[in-house]
Structure 1
């Protein structure tokens, strides 16, 4: 097709045709719209497998919700927005070359107009860029307006290469948390996790531990806040989510400037045990374990055995980490370390969370009996501390939502209760 025909209307028609062919299972016809290089890279069978993967995860495509056209260099990119049976909203990203042929297809979370949660007042704080740690991690501080110095919180991420907002599909829990706390007089530091900013440091050729992945940068965050003139260096708290919550006691044990810790959905179990529990939960969601799910369970149990026995060869990665990582975690008992701390603790748990469960919450209660600790659980919240109904599923994470207001209020109240004049 000549470039003179490659106008916006033509691109939109071709992109819509592609999505229609996919929805109707006509993968051969869809394949004819591809550029020559794309045809070689992705066969009709590959395209079918990719589409079926989307359907399996998000349900059938129910309807289209418009499209938009953008340009990047020599490429035109059409985003076709679809609503799926799970309630998820995805964009089919269709990239065109100069000849109006399809040079790439991806399925990505749909863009949405961000609206801050009701509890966030962007006029009540100033957000500033910063750099954290020796690896130069991009970060932001949110500093309340008015007269300081203010209490402050370092946010520590969960598993995986999280950005500073802890973005998951359309949710940004750490941005919600930072904006909510800073709207109520608490400074917050958040930053891109090291595996996000420096993935080159986490390949199979480089031994690394949880110190490299999480702890060193959290400690650097504490140091940065102590040097921030608007922050009271005697009132710096660490808040960890998921893996970050599991590591919060270790972080506090390494820096006596930490005035207290918040564990939000923090694992009480070993990380590999939590992984297996999640797999068991997911394959049992529909009450039936099929052949593929049974094989997945066997593989997951074998993986856990390898980790526990440290049967991991040089250069081998298991669940994204090598022997040095799992060896380090094997010697870490978060409940024992937490029980040795002299600082106050706040433990928050969503009762619908299937990744860190109420069993973890009860283990924390038992381990920390008699310590300076407050426990709060929330009947309707999931692992991201976002409201929902019924059993939690991975598909739930694709839906728009905000960190629950009651979580922000409880953190503000708890920090205020520890200060002579409140927050």
Structure 2
């Protein structure tokens, strides 16, 4: 090797070492989403990640991102927690975080797009971390002091990486609900979902048990076994996929009441197919004809006799593992919900295109003879229980900031207190 080449390599090595994670992350985003140089972007990865994500897969990512969110424009803000960095970024259609995790050698070990996480300061008295399996869940406890009704509501997120507020665009439905409950004497606990705070714990062996169920059960048990809350009713509130999994959560931990907000009762793959078809018909620039065709093939394969635990995740819906899908194929929420021996509240927005009244009516029909089950539809609310003024619901509705509807909140409070 010539002295010039050797010197160049040393300089590159020193430059990389001198860079901090903020600079490295920014350079990686530019290389991948602006320069669209997958080969160079691949060099930022840790060896283990490099083996899992080939350059060819990385090449397709910018196009997929642009198809859903529009072209990347710029980084607005950078925040961090330990070795996880949040590059709050602006795209043509929306603003969101590009979340990048680093190892000790400043190599990237994980990255994905997620709803923007607010880094507001939290009073010490409301910050509470709870150990769940192999991690500590970071959360916020709002414990009512005045007019304390001795109720504690625990929030369980929908699908994907979600922060404790379930932030989507400028909307924070979990925060809205928690603060409303607080001023009405009702305590609550909400936490960052592990796929948001600790994405490295989710892998090919993970199912919804590791993603959602175990954490909800562990948090509920924490408060049930905490002497400070011994006189409290503990209540679980699940939204979307959190509500879908609520029957299984209830099967593993008994609490006073269960709340189902916009929860699907049909299989997840059917819901995904329905959502893709709806958006494709509405706006093919968001879900292209090709993307819709691909998801149809993947769902058909999942539902066929050809599917097995050796099937590669690349052949399955959303790129989720065979083990993940096998758990859901075996899960029967409409059968399991009948085992719940406690009060239940089911709420559904009439302008929700993600989970529709079809699912709501299936829950309702299954529990029609159960006097402990309450069902309410709110005609003008969307999936986040925020008023929707558009004639035809669409993903663009989430770009507008809004607050969770007061009528719904009043009904929720009444159920919690009765």
Same fold (TM over 0.5): yes
Q: State how far apart, in whole Å, the 2-side matches of 1:56 and 1:214 are.
A: 26
Cα pair 1:58 1:395 within 8 Å, conserved: no
Tell me the equivalent position of 1:226.
224
Q: Does residue 1:339 correspond to 2:338, yes or no?
A: yes
Task: Name the Cα RMSD after superposition.
Answer: 4.2
Gaps of at least 5 residues in structure 2 are 1-25, 39-60, 81-86, 99-112
Tell me the equivalent position of 2:300.
305
In structure 2, the CA distance between the partners of 1:350 and 1:231, relative to structure 1 (3 Å rule), is same
Deviations 1:5-50 (A, max 9, x none): xxxxxxxxxxxxxxxxxxxxxxxxxxxxx99x9689844999xx97
Classify the secondary structure of the residue corresponding to 1:136: strand
In structure 2, the CA distance between the partners of 1:360 and 1:41, relative to structure 1 (3 Å rule), is closer
Matches for 1:3-402 after TM superposition, within 5 Å: 42-43=34-35, 57=69, 90=95, 127-134=126-133, 135-146=135-146, 148=148, 150-204=150-204, 207-232=205-230, 235-256=233-254, 258-285=255-282, 293-309=288-304, 310-311=307-308, 313=310, 316=313, 318=316, 319-371=318-370, 372-389=372-389, 390-402=391-403
Runs of 4 or more, structure 1, over 6 Å off, are: 49-53, 67-72, 78-82, 107-114
Classify the secondary structure of the residue corresponding to 2:126: strand
Cα pair 1:225 1:233 within 8 Å, conserved: no
Displacement of 1:147 in angstroms is 6.3
Displacement of 1:379 in angstroms is 1.0
Deviations 1:204-239 (A, max 9, x none): 3xx112111111110111112224455355611111
Cα pair 1:234 1:259 within 8 Å, conserved: no
TM-score normalised according to structure 1 size: 0.69
Tell me the equivalent position of 1:411.
412
Displacement of 1:190 in angstroms is 0.8
Rg larger in 1 or in 2? 1
In structure 2, the CA distance between the partners of 1:58 and 1:185, relative to structure 1 (3 Å rule), is farther
Deviations 1:237-267 (A, max 9, x none): 11100000011111112122x1111000000
Q: State how far apart, in whole Å, the 1-side matches of 2:96 and 2:162 are.
A: 21
Displacement of 1:337 in angstroms is 1.1
Classify the secondary structure of the residue corresponding to 2:358: helix
Deviations 1:345-369 (A, max 9, x none): 1000011111100111111111110
Classify the secondary structure of the residue corresponding to 1:170: coil
Q: State how far apart, in whole Å, the 2-side matches of 1:235 and 1:112 are.
A: 30
Displacement of 1:113 in angstroms is 12
Cα pair 1:130 1:141 within 8 Å, conserved: no
Classify the secondary structure of the residue corresponding to 2:243: helix
Q: State how far apart, in whole Å, the 2-side matches of 1:213 and 1:350 are.
A: 26
Displacement of 1:409 in angstroms is 1.4
Q: State how far apart, in whole Å, the 2-side matches of 1:230 and 1:149 are.
A: 14
Displacement of 1:184 in angstroms is 1.0
Aligned residues: 344
Cα pair 2:380 2:388 within 8 Å, conserved: yes
Q: State how far apart, in whole Å, the 2-side matches of 1:225 and 1:273 are.
A: 35
Q: State how far apart, in whole Å, the 2-side matches of 1:40 and 1:280 are.
A: 29
Q: State how far apart, in whole Å, the 1-side matches of 2:242 and 2:358 are.
A: 18
Cα pair 2:176 2:403 within 8 Å, conserved: yes
Deviations 1:265-312 (A, max 9, x none): 0001100000000011111115xx79x833222211111123223345
Q: Which has the higher helix share?
A: 2
Q: State how far apart, in whole Å, the 1-side matches of 2:89 and 2:244 are.
A: 40
Q: State how far apart, in whole Å, the 2-side matches of 1:397 and 1:149 are.
A: 33
Q: State how far apart, in whole Å, the 2-side matches of 1:112 and 1:133 are.
A: 23
Cα pair 2:149 2:185 within 8 Å, conserved: no
Q: State how far apart, in whole Å, the 2-side matches of 1:247 and 1:328 are.
A: 11
TM-score normalised according to structure 2 size: 0.70
